[in-house]
Structure 1
Amino acid sequence: MLAFAPLHTAASVAATVVTWLADTLTPLAGGTATAVAIVLFTIGVRLLISPLTLAQVRGERRRAALAPEVRDLQRRYADDPGRLQSELFALYRRAGANPVAGCLPALLQAPFFLVMYRLFATGDGHPALLNEKLAGVPLGWHLGDGLSGPVLALFGVLLAALLALAWWSSGRARRAAAATGTVAGTPTEGPGAAVLGRLVPLLPYTTVLVALVVPLAAVLYLVTTTAWTALEQLVLRRPQPASIDVR
């Protein structure tokens, strides 16, 4: 368990912050203070890691802009894998769009999401957090614990929100791939591209599946972080106007 000590410590610190927020909000939010604190804490963390997201988007745009040249190189050196790799490396280096470096921001975000999921799914560092209630339903309540009226109503609204967000994100991924010829900044031609093109639009729906098995606190986190991601896609990944060459 020693390997998980840093994760436990981070979850404990996060729990302390959420508890402080809940105590501060209690005069205004009453019994919903802890739920509101979870939402605000999630937004705060997403703001904290927004520079990483911006770096990831910039990397995707650079790689997407190079997609036509990548496809041309793939056609020209289809029978010479060694030369193809050399030419691709040179192309990315000239454009400052290292494909490996583009994955780094996403990897750096993973620990933040892991800590938050562990806190809201297990109450790690502060089990009492999941004993608080929202609309009469404990934050530690799972759908499998019983389907009373309040549980169905609350989970139904949250699951419907997740489903709507997943549908929007999936549709946007399909439209972006069709418009740019890339999936997440990767050309849609070549080995495995067809499979990737089918899988990427389905990924947003995994949050709905996860929400079916985690407690209410984690569902609140999922709705908040998914809505934030949709907002980032709308703002940061909006189509860029074509540059006009004025001579």
Structure 2
Amino acid sequence: MLSLLDTLIDFAYRLIGAVGSFTGPVAAIVLCTIAVRLLLLPLSVRQATAHKARLRLAPQVAKLRERFARDPERLVRETSKLYAAEGTSMFAGLLPGLAQAPFFMVVYRVFVSATIAGHANLLLAQSALGVPLGEHFAAALASGGLFSAPVLVFAGLFALLAVVAWLTWRRMDDTVAPRALRLLPFGTIAAAAVLPLAAGLYLLVSTAWTAAERAVLYPRPA
């Protein structure tokens, strides 16, 4: 019997396959990824709203921390009251982020699983620019050499991921992410190097959406 997660993965797989029969596999990956991000947009907006509230209240929270440094329980109570007065909470940005995770997991599994619901993942047998969507960079490099067509396709993917990561990195500061986390966007390149091509394309579309979303929802101060 299929679990709920397996059922959702099977549904997503069939949906992408149905779209792909009209548009081709690459366009199906792009369109379905965009559809998922559109579905999750209200959660992203709530997360951004909570982030702005935290920035606005940061000076007052700092004063509370200084005032109640020796009374952690009082600090939590007073901070909660402060956020409640603004119509939000300390955890308002956390829940939307957690709610998005299952959607990303389901779509991601469609593009990395060799079998789905006990059957071969036929999506990975289809091609993009002549390269099977189930191909891995290491296998392409070993079989065709550094300048083979499949390796060049992966190189183009890595280059596009690097551009998106750089654009994301440029907009990040201490108000968006701690300094130690600012290099995380470049991790998509390493991930694409070990994942099937289909998953790399999904990462490209999803991270490009994230970069555009951050530019709109997290504008830099004038």
Aligned partner of 1:142 in structure 2 is: 136
Q: Distance in 1 between matches of 2:33 and 2:51?
A: 25
1:29-178 correspondence runs (5 A):
33-125=24-116, 127-147=121-141, 148=144, 149-174=148-173, 177=174
Counterpart for residue 5 of structure 1: 3
> Partners in 2 of 1:7 and 1:38 — Cα distance?
20
* 1:183-222 superposed matches below 5 A: 183-184=176-177, 197-222=178-203
Question: What is the count of residue pairs matched by the alignment?
Answer: 214
Change (3 A) 1:143 1:235: same
CA offset at residue 140 of structure 1? Answer: 0.1
Shift of 1:183: 4.0
* Alpha-carbon contact 2:192-2:199 (below 8 Å) kept: yes
- Alignment counterpart, residue 15 of structure 1, candidates 8, 13, 16: 13
Q: Which residue matches 1:192?
A: none
The answer for unaligned runs of 5 or more in structure 2 is none
Counterparts of 1:240 and 1:94 in 2: how far apart (Å)?
Answer: 24
Q: Give 1:128 shift.
A: 0.8
Give the aligned partner of residue 189 of structure 1. none
Task: Give the residue type in structure 1 aligned to 2:185.
Answer: P
Indicate if the aligned counterparts of 2:80 and 2:90 stay in contact, CA closer than 8 A. no
Letter paired with 1:152? V
* Counterparts of 1:229 and 1:13, CA distance in 2: 24
Corresponding letter in the other structure for 1:61:
K
Q: Is the 8 A contact 2:168 2:211 kept in 1?
A: yes
Mean CA deviation greater in 72-81 or 16-25: 72-81
Q: Say whether the 8 Å CA contact 1:123–1:129 is kept in structure 2.
A: no
Tell me: CA distance 1:13–1:52, structure 2 relative to 1, closer, same or farther (3 Å). Answer: same
* Secondary structure at the counterpart of residue 93 of structure 2: helix
TM-score (norm 2): 0.90
Partner Cα distance (2:29, 2:185) in 1: 21
Check the 8 A contact 1:173/1:200 in 2, yes or no: no
What CA RMSD, in Å, does the superposition of the two structures yield over aligned residues? 1.7
CA distance in 2, matches of 1:100, 1:237: 18
Structure 1: tracts of 5 or more residues without a match: 26-32, 185-196, 242-247
Q: Deviations over 1:3-39 (max 9, x none)?
A: x7111111111111111111112xxxxxxx1111111
Q: Secondary structure at the match of 1:140?
A: coil
- Structure 1 letter corresponding to 2:74: R
TM superposition shift of 1:200: 2.2
